[in-house]
Amino acid sequence: MEEMVDENSPLAVFDGRTVLVTGHTGFKGTWLSLWLKMLGANVVGLSLAPPPGEPSMFESVRLERKITHIIGDICDRELVREIIHDHRPSIVIHMAAQTLVNRSYREPRETFNTNVLGTINILEAIRMEGGVKACIVVTSDKCYSNDGRDRAYVEDDCLGGKDPYSASKAAAEIVTASYRWSYFSSPDNAMALSTARAGNVIGGGDWAEDRIVPDIVRGLISGKSISVRNPASVRPWQHVLEPLNGYLLLTARMLQDSVSYSGPWNFGPDHRNCTVQDLVERFIRSWGKGTWVYSGRASDMQKEARTLRLDSTKAKNGLGWRPLLQLDQAVDLTVEWYKADTTKSYDMGDFSEQQIKNFLRMAPNESKEQYHGQRIL
C-alpha cells in the first residue's frame, strides 16, 4: 500500500483485501480500480473489452498490468459465479452497465439485460457462493421518478424512469433492495448491501458517445465548434473522484456495520447545478480556446429531464462524506488530464494516480477531515 492512508483511517481496510470491480474497463471503473490499488487492494476486474480502435482510459493508464483483468459479460451467470468462486472477493463494487440514455432508446433489450439481469447475476452469485462481506451496486441519479420540479431528490423518493436507461436503473435498485431484505438481512447471512446514486461525473479519460465532456474535448482537440444539443439542461456535475471517494468510504463503513450502512445513498455536489451551456463555457475558458454551436432538436428535450438534482444530506451526516471541489476545480483537473493525454509524453497511469493525490490536496482547509486520514504525498 502506498503511504496514502493512516492506519486508523477507515480506508485502511482495503489494504490486502480482494475487491471485485465490475465494469473496470469503463471510465469510472478505471479510476476506482486505480484508487483501490493505491490503497493496497487486490483488484479483480470483470468487464467487456473496450471497443477496438477507440480511445480508452483503461488502455491509456495500462490498467491491465496493475490488476487481475478478466474480459467477460455480466449477463453470463455461470462466468460471474465462477469468478466469485475462484477469486473469493470480500468486497464487490458492481459498476458494469449500459450507461447511455440515447443508446437505451436504440437498444432497450440490451440495456435491461445488462442493467437488470446483470445485477441479478452478481447478487445471485454472491448469495450462492458466500464469502462477500460488502457489496455496492452503483446505479444512477436517473433512477428517480422525475416529476419535473426543481428540487433535490432524497433516497426515499419514488423510483421510476420514462426512458429505458432510467427505468433499468430504477429496476436495479428494486432488485437490490429485494435481495437485501430477502437474503442478506438475517443474522446468519448479514452481508452489507447498498446502492450508490451519483450525478453526472466529469474527469479525464471519458470518451463515451453522446456525453457532453467527450464531445467538448473532441471539439477542442479538433478545433471544430462544440455541438451542444440541450444547452439549458441542468445537471449535478462533479468530478469523478467525488462519488468514488463516497463509494470507498461507504464500503469501509459497511464492513464495520452491515446493518446501519446498508441501503441507498446519494453522492451529489454541493455547488448549485449548472446548465450544459455553462459547463461548456467553463471548459472553453479552462482550455484557453474553443467555440460552441446549438445543434439540438425539440425532440431532444423529450428524452431527458430538464432538471435533475440530488440531496446528499444522508451521506454527509451518516458517512461524514463531503464533496471536495468547486466546479471550476473539477473542470481544471479534467482539462489537465486531456491535455496531458493528447501530448503523448506522459505515463498516464502515473499521471492519473497523481491526480488522485492532487484531488485530496485541493480541499479547503476546513474540509481536511473529510479525507478520512488519507495522507497527501
Cα–Cα distance, 27 to 33 (Å, whole number): 10
**CATH architecture of residue range(s) 10-363:** 3-Layer(aba) Sandwich (3.40)
**pLDDT tens per residue across span 140-163:** 999 999 887 778 899 999 999 999
In terms of pLDDT, which residue wins out, 41 or 190? Answer: 41
Distances (CA, A) of 285 to 235, 331, 332, 335: 20, 10, 10, 10
- By C-alpha distance, which of 82, 14, 25 is closest to 48? 25
pLDDT score at 370:
52
pLDDT score at 78:
98
Half-sphere exposure of 176 (CA within 13 A, CB side): 32
The model's pTM: 0.93
pLDDT score at 228:
92
Distances (CA, A) of 83 to 28, 157, 247, 280, 293: 21, 35, 22, 41, 47
Which residue spans within the chain are E strands per DSSP? 18-22, 42-47, 68-71, 91-94, 134-138, 152-153, 192-198, 201-202, 226-228, 234-235, 238-239, 263-267, 274-275, 292-294, 309-310
pLDDT score at 146:
86
**pLDDT tens per residue across span 214-267:** 999 999 999 999 999 889 888 889 999 999 999 999 999 999 999 999 999 999
CA angle 372, 374, 377 (to 5 degrees): 160
Confidence tier at 188 by pLDDT (50, 70, 90): confident
pLDDT score at 366:
45
**pLDDT tens per residue across span 166-179:** 999 999 999 999 99
pLDDT score at 306:
63
Distances (CA, A) of 339 to 6, 54, 150, 239, 334: 33, 18, 35, 17, 9
Q: Which residue has the cell 467538448?
A: 216
Tell me which amino acid residue 103 is.
Answer: R
pLDDT score at 123:
98
Task: Compute, in degrees rounded to 10, the torsion defined by CA atoms 67, 63, 30, 345.
Answer: 160
Distances (CA, A) of 95 to 163, 199, 290: 20, 14, 33
pLDDT score at 101:
87
- By C-alpha distance, which of 243, 240, 196, 206 is closest to 27? 206
Contacts of 136 (CB under 8 A, 6+ apart): 92, 93, 94, 194, 195, 196, 247, 250, 251, 254
Cα–Cα distance, 285 to 291 (Å, whole number): 10
**pLDDT tens per residue across span 303-313:** 566 677 899 99
Given a cut of 70, is residue 374 above it in pLDDT? Answer: no
Cα–Cα distance, 357 to 353 (Å, whole number): 7
First and final C-alpha spacing in the chain? 13
All structural domains of the chain with their residue ranges: 10-363
Provide mean pLDDT across the span 3-9: 63
DSSP string, 6-71: -TTSGGGGGTT-EEEEETTTSHHHHHHHHHHHHTT-EEEEEEPPPPTTS--HHHHTTGGGTSEEEE
Given a cut of 80, is residue 1 above it in pLDDT? Answer: no
Cα–Cα distance, 177 to 160 (Å, whole number): 14
Distances (CA, A) of 372 to 6, 41, 311: 9, 17, 21
Given a cut of 80, is residue 359 above it in pLDDT? Answer: yes
Cα–Cα distance, 34 to 44 (Å, whole number): 12
For the ranges 5-9, 32-36, 184-188, 219-223, the maximum mean pLDDT occurs at: 32-36
In terms of pLDDT, which residue wins out, 218 or 189? Answer: 218
